[in-house]
Structure 1
Amino acid sequence: MRPYAPAFPLLLALASSAGAQEAHDAVNEASNPLTPKITINLQNYYIPSFIDTPGEPEANQFLLRGLIPSDMFGLPQLFRFTLPIAMSPDVPSGYVTGLGDLTLMDFFILPKHGDVSLGIGPLLVVPTATDESIGSGKWQIGAAGVVVAPQRWGLLGALATYQTSFAGVDDREDVNLLTFQPILNINLSDGWNLRSSATWNFNLESGNSHIPKMFQRDKGVTMNAFVETSVCGLARRTGCALLADLRRCQLPVSGRAVTSDAIQEHPMRKTVFALLMLSAATTAAAAFTPEELASRTVERRAVEAVIWGIPAVNYDLMLQEMLTKTKGKVNQIVYWSRPLDWHNQTLTPNPDAIYLMAFTDTKSVGPVVIEVPPAEGGSINGNIVNVWQMALEDAGPSGADQGKGGKYLVLPPGYKDKVPDGYIPLQSDTFGGYALLRSNLASHSDADIAKSVEYAKRLKVYPLSQAANPPETVFTDAQGVVFDSTIKYDASFFTSLNRVVQSEPWLTRDKVIIDQLKSIGIEKGKPFSPIASMTKQLEAGVKEGREWLETKYDTGQIPFYEKSMWNYIGNPELVKSAQGGYAEPDAYPVDLRGVAYSYAFVGVKRLGAGQFYLISLKDKAGNPFEGSKTYRLTVPPNVPVQQYWSLTAYDRKTQALIRNMSRASRSSQIADLQKNPDGSVDLFLGSKPPEGKEANWIPTDPKHEFEVMFRLYAPTKALFDKSWVLPDVEHIQ
C-alpha cells in the first residue's frame, strides 16, 4: 500500500445566498448524490507538489460532474457523468494537459427506508483520455451503489463502485478497481458547511490501495485545505459548485520517474488562479434578475398550490363531468344504473355497488336536505362532504341514522337560523359539496341490481325552503358515459382551482395561501387569464407537484399488518385530523391530504364502522404489479364483514378503473365465485385467466402496472384485532 498524504477531504465553505438556511439546504442538495434534479458540479483539485518525488512537481485535475433525473422504464433513475480535465507531470516534456476517461453511472432509486435513500445501478468508463498518461486506455464496466441519510445536522452517506476492464489498448494494465467514498456533511451557522468526502481506492489488479488519512506525521502535513465557492441560487436548480483542493501527497505519475530537470516551469498556479477567479465570477453572475425571481416564484408556488388544492380540484372535476356530460344539475342526483365499469373514471371507485352522487349548492337555495330511507328492502352506505371533501357525516346503517333513515340538513357557511326538529344538521364551511351514496347489492344478478336501483330511488334531495311540499327528486343516469375526473396535471388544474376560489369563502386555516395564489394569477374577484410565459411556468409546477405526490404515495405507505404489503388506505394522522374537522391547534396535514386526494375521493366520518379499505401496490416479493403477469390472492375463510368484501384492480398511473376491461373486481356477492374446500377463495389477476378460473379472475392491461384495493363493508372486530389476516398477493407466473 502506498501511503497517500492527507486525503480525507474536510471542507469549510460559505455559500452565497439570501439566507443561511437556504444556503445550507442548497449545499446539502448539491452534495447529495441522489438529488433528483438536473445538477452540474465543477470541481478542481490542485496538487502543489508530490511528496518524495524529485523536483516536487505539481498537478491539477478539473472535474465536470453532472446528474440528470429520469423515469425511463417507469422507474426513477439518476444518470451521473464525470469528465476530468487533467494537467499532469510528464517526462521529458514537462506537463500533459487533456481530457481524462469519462465515467457514466445510472442509479435506480429504490424505495426509501424511513429517511434513508438508496440507489444502485451500472457503471461504464469510456476511454476518452487524450493522452495515455492521464487515462487507463481501457473500456470498463461495473456497478455503483449509494446510500444517503439526511440528518438534522447535515448529511450522512456513502458511495461505492466496482469497475473492471473488458476491452481497450492491449499493452495497458488491466483495471480491477473498488472504490468507497464516505460522505459527511455538517451544517454550521450562517450558511457554513463542514464536509468530508474522501475516496478510498483498492486496486484489486495490483494489490495496491489508497486509504485517505485525516492526519499524517511525516512532512508535517495534517489535513487537506479546500476552497469552495458554491452558487446557491443556481444550486437550487443545478447544484453548481467549484472546488480547489490544495494538497501535498505521494502519487505515482503515469508510472514514470519524474526528475527536477523535467519540470522547469509552474503553469499550474496560473491555471488554478484562473479557475478560482472563474468561480468568483460565476457567483457574482448567478444573482437572479427580477424576471427570473418572478418566474421561479410562480413555479415554486404552483407546486404548493397543487398539494394544497388537489382535494377541491378533485371535487370540481367530478362536478364539471356531471354538468358537461350529463343532464344532471346541482341539488339533484346523478347515478349509475349498473355496477360501475371502466367508463367511470373517478378515483378508486367501488364497482360492487350502485353509485349515486348528489352535488349540493347552498349558495342560491339555502340549506339542502338529503333524505335517506330506512334500511328496509335495501341499505345505503353514504358519506356527505364539503368542497374540500372533509366528512360532514356518514349516512345509513353505519351513519348517524343507524339504518332508521334520516333527513340530513346541509347548512351554508355562517348559518344562524334555528334548525327545525327532525333534521340531522350538518354545518358546512363551504357552499358546495356532495354526498356519495352507495346502494348495496345482494348479488350482481339483474334482479338484485334492479332491486338495488329501485331502493336507491327512494333517496330525496331538495331545499329546506320546500320541505313542506318537496319537489320530486331528479335522477340522471350516467351509465355508459366516460365520466373522467382523473387529475389533469396540466395548466387546466389551476382553472379548476380558480373556480373553487371564486365560488367559495376563504377558510381561516387557509388564508396563508391567499397571497401565494395571487402570485400565480388566482385572486378572488378577478379573472384567471395567465399569459403564455406564466402558463409554461404553471405547467412545470404542476408536473413537479405530480412527481412529489407520486413519490410520497409510493414511499409513504403504512402497513396494516406487520411486514405486510397491505397498507392503510389513508394515513392515520390524516384520518384523525379530518374526522376532527382539521380543528387541532398544532396540526394541519396538508401534505398528507394532498397525497390522499391524488388517488381517492370522498371523506369518511366513521372509517371502520361502515367500511374499511386496504391497498397494495406490490406483490409479496415487494415488486410492483405488472399487468402482463399473473397473480393470486387467497382470501381466508370467515372474512370479518357483515355485508360483503371485494378486491378491485386500478390503473397504477391514473388510480381509476383499468380502461377497456370487461370487469374490475371480484366480490363475495358473486354467485358463481369458486371456493376452496376450507372456505377460502383464490382470486387471480392478470391479462389472461388461468384455465378453469374465469369466475375468480380480474383482468389487467398487459401494457400497464396496476394496484389493488381490498374492501370490507360493515367490518367486525377480527379485522381490527388482526386475528384474521389477509395474506399478500403472490406472483405465480
Structure 2
Amino acid sequence: MKTTETDPTPGYNTKIPDSILTPDRVETSIGTLEFFDGFPTEETARKVFDNLDFSRGVKVFLDGIPGASLEAIRVGMESIHVTQCHHVGLAEELMDSNSLFLTGNTDTVYAVAFLDLERDGPTVVEIPPGCGPGTVNDAWFRFVVDMGIPGLDAGHGGKYLILPPDHAGDYPEGRFLVEDGYFVAKSRSYVNLVILRGFLVDGEPTAAVEMFKTGLKIYPQRDAEHPPEMVFTNFSNDDFNTIHSNDFTFYEELAHIIDKEPLELIDLELRGLIASIGIQKGEGFKYDDRMKKILTDAVAVGNATARAIDFQTREKEAYLYPDSQWKTGFLGGSFEWLKEDGRGGRYLDARTLFFYMATVNTPAMALEMIGKGSQYAYINKDSNGNFLDGVNVYRLRIPAPVPAKDFWSVVVYDPQTRSQLQTSQMFPSKNSEKSELHKNADGSVDLYFGPEQPPESHQNNWIQTVVRKGWFGMIRLYGPLEPWFRKTWKPGEIELLHSPYPAPTGH
C-alpha cells in the first residue's frame, strides 16, 4: 500500500494511504478539478454539480421510458376522443402506417382503452369469448393482469375487476382472486392501459371487429346495473402519435404522471432520483434556465444511449443465434427483466431495449407457450453487419416449414419513430395468412425489400422501403411451435442483392 509522508504533528498519522487522499489538481472527463487540501473550489463544485444533475437527467430518461411511453399512448388516444373507460379505439381495418405506435403489428385487430381508477373507482372489463391476447398494464407499464387466451379466462371470456391502488382490503401484488364472478386484480396506479387483440379469420378482420363491438364492455363497477353504452372509434387510417418525446418535453410528460398517480407508484429510490431534477408530486416541475440547459443535454444523451442499446447492443444475450443479426427484445427470459432470477438485480439495459422499441408488458411474452400467443425477433443489419438502408434491395428467406400454428408475419419499421415505415403500401408487411406469397420449390418464401416496385413475379413478396431512410424488420410467429423455442428453426439473414431482383425459383 502506497503511503504519503506528512509533516510530523503531535497526534497526527504520518503515513496516510494515497488512495484516500485528493490531490490539489485532478484531470477528469469533465475538466480539471481543483482543491485546497481536499476542499473543492467554487469552480470545481459548479462542474461536479452540473455533472451530477446531467447524469441524473440521463438516468431519469432511461428509467422513465416505460412511464412516459404509456402516458404518450394515453395522450394519443385522447386525441382521437378515447377519454372515458367505455371509449375504445378499434383498428377495424388493422393498424396501418398512418398512426405512430411503437412496433405495432398489421396482423391483429387492436382494441385500446384506458381506465382512470381515481375518477371511476373499481372498473369492470368484460372480455368476449374468442378474444386473443389481452393485457392490463399500469401507469409505469407494469403488468397487472392478462386477459383473453393467455389470461385467467383462457379465451372463454369473463369479467375482470380492476381495483385502484387505494382500495381497501388485502389484495397482494401479483395475486389474482375470484370474487362474486369476477377475476380481481389490484393495480398500483390510477391510469391503466387495456390492450386487446383479435385474430384474423380467413385473412380478414371482420369477425374480430364484430366480437369486440358486441361482446366487449367496460364500465365502473358502481354502474353495473346501468353501464354506459360503449363507444368505438375506428383508428385505422388515422394520423396521430402515441410515442413519448425525445427532447426536453419528455420530463414534462413524466411530471404529469408523478402528479396524477399515488406516491407509491414508484419506489423511494426512483422517486428521489426524479425529484432531484425538479419533478415532485404536488410541486409540479420546477427548473431554471441552468437546469433546462442541462436536462436538454441529458435527454439528448439519454436518447442516444437508448438507441445504442437497441440498435448497437453490446448484450450478447440479445442475439438469438450464432453469427446472426436476429435479436430478441426479452433478454433473460423475465418479463420483469430480472437477471439470474433476481440474484443479478434488474437487467436495466434489457428493460430499456424493450421499452424504447415496444409496448405491453406481460409474462406471456417471455414464457414458452407452445402453440399459444406469439413470439418476436427483430433485425436492423444485413448479413454483412451493415445497417439496413432503404436505397438498397435485400432478400430474406423464410425456410419451410415455419414453426407457427396460426401464421407468421414480417413488418418493416422506421428507426426514427420505431413505428411502421410510411410508404405508398400503407401496410409495410407480409403475412402468411392474408398475403398471396410466391413460394420456392422447397416451400420457403423469399421476401424482397427495396424502394422500387420489382418485376411482377416478385410483387407479392415485396415490401417497399424509402431512399435515404433506414429501416428495421420484425418477424412474428403466432402460435409458436417447439422448433422456435429449441432454435432448430431460424429465419434467414437479410442479404444485400447486387442485382435488383433474381429470377424466380419456381412454385
- Deviation, 1:373, is 0.9
Work out whether residues 638 and 679 of structure 1, in 8 Å CA contact, stay in contact via their aligned partners in 2. Answer: yes
Of 436, 450, 459, 2:206 maps to 450
- Range 428-437 or range 555-564, more displaced: 555-564
- The answer to whether the aligner puts 1:617 opposite 2:380 as a matched pair is yes
Residue 405 of structure 2 is aligned to residue 642 of structure 1: yes
Per-residue deviation, 1:697: 0.9
Does 2:430 correspond to 1:601?
no
Q: How far 1:287 sits from its partner (Å)? A: 5.3
Aligned to 1:541, what secondary structure does the other structure show? helix
1:327 paired residue number: 81
* CA-CA distance at 1:290 after TM superposition: 5.3
Shift of 1:431: 1.4
Q: Summarize the Cα distance change of 1:280–1:513 in structure 2 as closer, same or farther, 3 Å threshold.
A: closer
- Within 2, Cα distance between the matches of 1:649 and 1:360? 31
Distance 1:658 1:229, change over 3 A: farther
Distance across 2 between alignment mates of 1:726 and 1:501: 43
Matched ranges for 1:527-542 at <5 A: 527-542=284-299
The answer to whether 1:236 aligns with 2:1 is no
Displacement of 1:508 in angstroms is 7.7
Q: Indicate whether 1:354 and 2:109 are aligned.
A: yes
Q: Distance in 2 between matches of 1:424 and 1:296?
A: 49
Look up the match of 1:726: 491
What is the identity, as a one-letter code, of the residue corresponding to 2:30? R
Instruction: Report deviation, 1:653.
Output: 2.6
For the residue of structure 1 that corresponds to 2:410, the secondary structure is strand
CA–CA separation in structure 1 for the residues paired with 2:337 and 2:161: 23
Q: Which runs of 5+ in 1 are unaligned?
A: 1-11, 15-187, 194-227, 242-278
- Distance 1:678-1:314 versus aligned 2 partners, 3 A rule: same
Question: Do the aligned residues in 2 keep the contact of 1:413 with 1:427 (CA within 8 Å)?
Answer: yes
| Aligned residue number for residue 501 of structure 2 | none
Indicate how the Cα distance of structure 1 residues 285 and 643 shifts in structure 2: closer, same or farther if over 3 A, else same.
same
Q: Matched residues in 1 for 2:323 and 2:335: separation?
A: 22
Residue 368 (structure 1) aligned with residue 123 (structure 2): yes
Listed one character per residue, the Cα deviations across residues 605-664 of structure 1 (whole Å, up to 9, x for unaligned) are 212431110111211222211111111111112211122210011112321111344221
2:406 is paired with a residue whose SS is: coil
In structure 1, give the amino acid aligned to 2:185: L
TM-score for both structures, normalised by structure 2: 0.84
- Deviation string 1:565-611 (CA, Å, 9 cap, x unpaired) is 11112212553547x9x995872334432332111111122124311
**Which of 529, 554, 568 is the aligned partner of 2:328?**
568
> Retained in 1: the 8 A contact 2:329–2:353?
no
2:319 is aligned with 1:559: yes
Q: Tell me the residue number matched to 2:144.
A: 392
For residues 289 and 61 of structure 2, the distance between their equivalents in structure 1, rounded to whole angstroms, comes to: 19
Deviation at 1:464, TM superposition (A): 1.8
Secondary structure in 2 matching 1:493:
helix
Q: Is the 8 A contact 2:189 2:265 kept in 1?
A: no
Aligned position for 1:701: 466
Take 1:471 and 1:417, find their aligned partners in 2: how far apart are those partners?
27
Q: State the shift of 1:547 in Å.
A: 1.7
- Partner SS state of residue 633, structure 1: strand
CA distance in 1, matches of 2:181, 2:163: 15
2:480 to 715, 720, 732: 715
1:411-560 to structure 2, matched below 5 A, reads 411-417=163-169, 420-444=179-203, 448-457=204-213, 458-507=215-264, 510-553=267-310, 554-557=312-315, 558-560=318-320
Please state if 1:410 is matched with 2:162. Answer: yes
Structure 2 SS opposite 1:351? coil
Q: Give the partner amino acid of 2:143.
A: A
| Residues 417, 639 of structure 1: alpha-carbon distance in 2 compared, 3 angstrom cutoff | same
Match of 1:678 in 2: 442
- Between Structure 1 and Structure 2, the one with more strand by share is 1
Of 678-687 and 449-458, the range deviating more from structure 2: 449-458
**2:19 corresponds to which residue?**
190
In structure 2, what is the Cα distance between the partners aligned to 1:560 and 1:192?
A: 47
1:479-525, Cα deviation, whole Å (9 max, x unpaired): 33322123311111011100111111233862112333223211110
Q: Deviations over 1:218-248 (max 9, x none)?
A: xxxxxxxxxx98624xx1324x69xxxxxxx
Partners in 2 of 1:661 and 1:494 — Cα distance?
A: 35
Q: CA RMSD in A?
A: 3.0
Distance 1:438 1:389 in 2: 18
- Provide the rounded CA distance (Å) in 2 between the counterparts of 1:717 and 1:541: 44
Counterparts of 2:181 and 2:156 in 1: how far apart (Å)? 13
Query: Deviation of residue 192 (structure 1)?
Result: 8.6
Match among 62, 70, 73 for residue 307 of structure 1: 62
Quickly say closer, same or farther: Cα 1:388–1:653, change in 2 above 3 A: same
Letter in 2 for 1:567: K
CA contact 2:57–2:277 (8 Å) conserved in 1: yes
Is residue 30–residue 47 contact of structure 2 (8 Å, CA) maintained in 1? no
Pair 285,720 (structure 1): closer, same or farther in 2 beyond 3 Å: closer
| Aligned partners of 1:570 and 1:596 also within 8 Å | yes
Distance change >3 Å, CA 537–CA 280, structure 1 → 2: closer
Cα distance in structure 2, aligned partners of 1:556 and 1:563: 14
1:688 paired residue number: 452
Any conservation in 2 of the 1:574–1:593 contact (CA below 8 Å)?
no
Task: Tell me, yes or no, if the aligned pair for 2:374 and 2:480 is still in contact at 8 Å.
Answer: yes
| Counterparts in 2 of 1:398 and 1:527: CA distance versus 1, 3 Å | closer
Per the alignment, do residues 591 and 330 of structure 1 end up closer, same or farther by CA in structure 2, a change over 3 Å counting? farther
Residues 583, 572 of structure 1: alpha-carbon distance in 2 compared, 3 angstrom cutoff: closer
Report 1:74-113 matches (<5 A).
Answer: none
CA distance in 1: counterparts of 2:341 and 2:260, whole angstroms: 23
Return closer, same or farther for 1:584/1:421 CA change in 2, 3 Å cut-off: farther
Distance 1:287 1:360, change over 3 A: same
Question: Percent identity of the aligned residues?
Answer: 28
Matched with 1:69 is: none
Instruction: State the SS of the aligned residue for 2:296.
Output: helix
Q: Secondary structure at the match of 1:371?
A: strand
* Inter-partner Cα distance in structure 1 for 2:236 and 2:313: 36
User: Which letter maps to 1:605?
Assistant: P
Is the 1:393–1:605 Cα contact (8 Å) retained in structure 2? Answer: no
The 3-state SS of whatever aligns with 1:626 is: coil
- Give the Cα separation in 1 of the matches to 2:410 and 2:18: 53
The verdict on how the C-alpha distance between 1:509 and 1:495 changes in structure 2, with shifts beyond 3 A counting, is closer
Counterparts of 2:429 and 2:46, CA distance in 1? 52
Structure with larger Rg: 1
Given that residues 422 and 428 in structure 2 are in contact (C-alpha distance below 8 angstroms), is that contact kept between their aligned partners in structure 1? no
Distance 1:482 1:532, change over 3 A: farther
Q: TM-score, normalised to structure 1's length?
A: 0.59
The answer to whether residue 350 in structure 2 is matched with residue 592 in structure 1 is yes
- Partner amino acid, structure 1, of 2:82: G
2:3 and 2:18 in contact (8 A); partners too: no
Q: Which moved more, 1:288-297 or 1:529-538?
A: 288-297
Aligned twin of 2:97:
342
Kept in 2, the 8 Å contact 1:487–1:598? The answer is no
CA shift in 2, pair 1:640/1:353, >3 Å: same
* Letter aligned with residue 393 of structure 2: T
Separation in structure 2 between the aligned mates of residue 284 and residue 417 of structure 1, nearest angstrom: 54
Distance 1:507 1:731 in 2: 51
Counterpart residue identity of residue 231, structure 1: V
